[in-house]
Amino acid sequence: MIDDPIITKDEVVDLYRKRARRYDFTANLYYLIGFREWAYRRRAVEALRLRRGDTVVEIGCGTGLNFPLLQEAVGPEGRIIGVDLTDAMLEQARSRVAENGWSNVDLVLSDAASYHFPAGIGGIISTFALTLAPEYDQVIARGSRALAPGKRWVILDFKLPANWLASLAPLLAFLTRPFGVRLEMADRHLWESIERYLPNSRLIELYGGFAYIAEGKRGA
């Protein structure tokens, strides 16, 4: 699409090591351009339709910004497994877990591409993360097979709109570049992988088509 070299995994780790301590603050700055991040996070977690006691896996959990919402959904009798490639991001997540006294969170330092999902899980979510992994299609396939019947995969991320607004793509690329996003990643259509492996699926466009929630449900 555009000559903008894709960031390597080592570069992703370097970048997030530098950003980890201020990540929560900088992520919130998207509010300044009218991006209703928290409303979208809440919608994504609601789309999982978790039940109390469920185990949910978050791929690319970062500092654990979604954990309070996931905790509300699964309760103390449930489990959250947060997987991330960057040690420094998981350190921030670990502090959040300790500060909140949560004893039902496992943090796993792993590349999503090599992570083995436990069988029969109650939901998988990834927000603003899995698009960074070139192997996203295999990860979605593997996760889909690990879901318990009737359970869901949900992805929240940026994309390009199909209409004239796509001409604003360089602006979006500029705004998301500090988080490792490259315009070339716009060719990564994760919602198509969700559709491929989970026939009961749905794509919800947000923010003028610049963001989306894709949800897919495993058949019974």
Ligand X SMILES: C[S@@+](CC[C@H](N)C(=O)[O-])C[C@H]1O[C@@H](n2cnc3c(N)ncnc32)[C@H](O)[C@@H]1O
Asked if 62 touches ligand X (CB under 6 A), the answer is yes
Each residue 81-120 as x (binds ligand X by CB under 6 A) or -, in order, gives --xxxx--x---------------------xxx-------
Report DSSP state, residue 211. E
Shortest gap between Cβ of 33 and ligand X (angstroms)? 16
Interface residue with ligand X among 73, 97, 132, 154 (CB under 6 A) is: 132
In the bound state with ligand X, the residue whose beta carbon lies nearer, of 13 and 160, is 13
Residue with tokens 């001409």: 167
Q: How far apart are CA 72 and CA 209, in angstroms?
A: 28
Interface residue with ligand X among 45, 47, 50, 65 (CB under 6 A) is: 65
Would you put residue 101 in left (φ > 0), alpha (ψ -120 to 50) or beta?
left
- What radius of gyration do the chain's Cα atoms show? 16
Shortest gap between Cβ of 60 and ligand X (angstroms)? 3
Burial of 7 (0-12, 13-18, 19+ CB in 10 A): middle
Roughly what angle, to the nearest 10 degrees, separates helices 67-74 and 37-47?
30
Interface residue with ligand X among 179, 197, 207, 210 (CB under 6 A) is: 179
The binding site for ligand X (CB under 6 A) comprises 12, 16, 27, 60-62, 65, 83-86, 89, 111-113, 127-129, 132-133, 179
